[in-house]
């Protein structure tokens, strides 16, 4: 795998709302040189390629974009999977599991048979489990298989904290950890404005800011996807940009800290499960996982989230 090659190649599998939001953001941010669109609905992929290509004259990019097949994965650097069925209103992410496992069986085999030797990036829900399924079915080193995890939730959290404290979200350092779903949580002991703990700011503010508001913000982050789905059926721009952020960290060999879904290898006392945690991401994929100094209560929440994910994965009886 030559990630510093001149030609940064991405194969996108699943050209629905999420996949195309990613593709559109890739084009606008000029993040790769070659983008191949693959979908079970070949016509859709072809139409999307045409539509994007017609924007090239207005963009600062000379990206090569075309509808292709799994054979095109052979020399790709990143295969991004957004194929699957989206959540219906009221449906939990875990309900999707059975349907999307069948979809992934039809994708991972032909990708690996193409000789692909790059990095898998997964967005399909339930993302932590779909990422683990990708690792199992491909047999890839788990470092080279990552999911979007709680990257988007973390962006939502930082945005809301920025609003609450009237501070640039980029100076709000806080993470959503655990399952991208109902058992996710915010380790507030680790949330900082610049280098000052958010909880101390609340305590010292004489009531201007309060810790209870932090719980409201957690709930708002947790419920954001359902709220958007109720209003406009699906969420896609935010996740598309989260995928581009991760893609950029890989191609740029950035060693950026992102809360992707990665396989635990003893971190937080967990092994084997794929779950959202702050990771250092570079051209090797997940270079390493950061171990935050979680409180006992936060550690219990992380463990409970991992347990949920492990149970659902085990229920699949994969292989
Ligand atoms: P969509 O229905 O718009 O698109 C799905 C695409 O997958 C369609 O084009 C469909 O033809 C294709 N597809 C289905 N089966 C396929 C197969 N076997 N091979 C190849 N392509 C296949 O759905 P969407 O709104 O784009 O959502 C896609 C996935 O992303 C869903 O699972 C959704 O829950 C997930 N999602 C994840 C996050 C996150 O934070 N990780 C956020 C939003 C959505």
For residue 133, the domain's CATH number is: 3.40.50.720
According to the model, what pLDDT value does residue 92 have?
72
Looking at the fold, whether 211 and 143 belong to one and the same domain comes out as no
**Strands, E assignment, the chain:** 9-13, 34-38, 64-67, 78-81, 119-122, 145-147, 172-173, 192-193, 196-197, 256-265, 271-282, 285-289
Looking at the fold, whether 221 and 307 belong to one and the same domain comes out as yes
Mean pLDDT by 10 residues, the chain (319 residues): 73 98 97 98 98 94 96 98 84 77 96 98 96 98 98 97 97 98 96 97 94 94 93 95 98 98 98 98 98 98 98 85
Ligand 1 site: residues with CB under 6 angstroms? 13-19, 39-41, 44, 82-84, 86-87, 103, 106-107, 123-125, 127, 148, 152, 180, 234-236, 239
Looking at the fold, whether 237 and 250 belong to one and the same domain comes out as yes
Cα R_g (the chain), whole angstroms: 19
According to the model, what pLDDT value does residue 89 have?
79
For the record, the structure tokens of 301 come out as: 């929440």
**Which residue, by CA, sits nearest to atom 40 of ligand 1?**
239
Neighbour-count burial for 61-75, b at 16+ CB within 10 Å, e otherwise:
bebebebbebebbeb
Looking at the fold, whether 73 and 38 belong to one and the same domain comes out as yes
Last residue of a domain, one of 112, 147, 182: 147
Last residue of a domain, one of 119, 147, 175: 147
How far apart CA 14 and CA 234 sit, in angstroms, is 15
Q: Which atom of ligand 1 is nearest to the CA of 83?
A: 7
180: left (phi over 0), alpha (psi -120 to 50) or beta: beta
Closest to 270 measured CA to CA, from 295, 297, 305, 296: 305
Looking at the fold, whether 295 and 187 belong to one and the same domain comes out as yes
Looking at the fold, whether 52 and 156 belong to one and the same domain comes out as no
The tally of domains found in the chain comes to 2
**DSSP 8-state secondary structure symbol assigned to residue 185:** B
**Which residue, by CA, sits nearest to atom 25 of ligand 1?**
17
According to the model, what pLDDT value does residue 319 have?
60
**Which residue, by CA, sits nearest to atom 5 of ligand 1?**
16
Distance 187 CA to ligand 1 centre (A): 30
Looking at the fold, whether 184 and 311 belong to one and the same domain comes out as yes
Q: Which atom of ligand 1 is nearest to the CA of 87?
A: 34
Last residue of a domain, one of 147, 180, 215: 147
Whole-prediction pTM: 0.96
Residue 227 CB coordination number (10 Å)? 11
According to the model, what pLDDT value does residue 61 have?
87
According to the model, what pLDDT value does residue 5 have?
58
Looking at the fold, whether 23 and 129 belong to one and the same domain comes out as yes
Closest to 243 measured CA to CA, from 2, 1, 35: 35
Residue 76 is part of which domain span?
Answer: 2-147
């Amino acid at each position: 795998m030559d990630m510093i090659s001149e030609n940064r190649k991405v194969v996108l599998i699943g050209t629905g709302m999420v996949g195309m939001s990613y593709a559109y953001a890739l084009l606008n941010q000029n993040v790769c040189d070659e983008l191949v669109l693959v979908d079970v609905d070949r016509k859709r992929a072809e139409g999307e390629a045409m539509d994007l290509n017609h924007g090239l004259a207005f963009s600062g990019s000379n990206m090569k974009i075309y509808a292709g097949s799994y054979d095109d994965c052979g020399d790709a650097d990143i295969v991004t999977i957004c194929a699957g069925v989206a959540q219906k209103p009221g449906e939990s992410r875990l309900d999707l599991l059975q349907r999307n496992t069948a979809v992934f069986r039809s994708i991972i085999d032909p990708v690996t048979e193409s000789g692909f030797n790059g990095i898998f990036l997964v967005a399909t829900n339930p993302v932590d489990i779909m990422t683990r399924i990708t690792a199992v079915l491909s047999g890839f080193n788990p470092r080279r298989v990552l999911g979007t995890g709680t990257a988007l939730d973390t962006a939502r959290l930082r945005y809301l904290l920025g609003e609450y404290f009237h501070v640039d979200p980029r100076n709000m350092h806080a993470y959503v950890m655990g399952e991208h779903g109902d058992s996710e949580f915010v380790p507030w002991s680790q949330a900082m404005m610049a280098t000052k703990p958010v909880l101390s700011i609340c305590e010292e503010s004489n009531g201007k800011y309060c810790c209870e508001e932090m719980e409201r913000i957690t709930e708002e982050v947790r419920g954001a996807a359902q709220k958007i789905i109720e209003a406009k059926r699906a969420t896609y721009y935010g996740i598309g940009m989260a995928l581009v952020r991760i893609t950029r960290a890989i191609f740029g060999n950035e060693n950026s800290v992102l809360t992707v879904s990665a396989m635990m290898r003893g971190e937080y006392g967990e092994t084997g499960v794929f779950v959202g945690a702050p990771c250092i991401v570079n051209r090797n994929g997940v270079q390493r996982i950061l171990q935050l100094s979680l409180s006992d209560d936060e550690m219990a929440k992380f463990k409970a989230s991992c347990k949920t994910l492990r149970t659902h994965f085990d229920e699949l009886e994969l292989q």
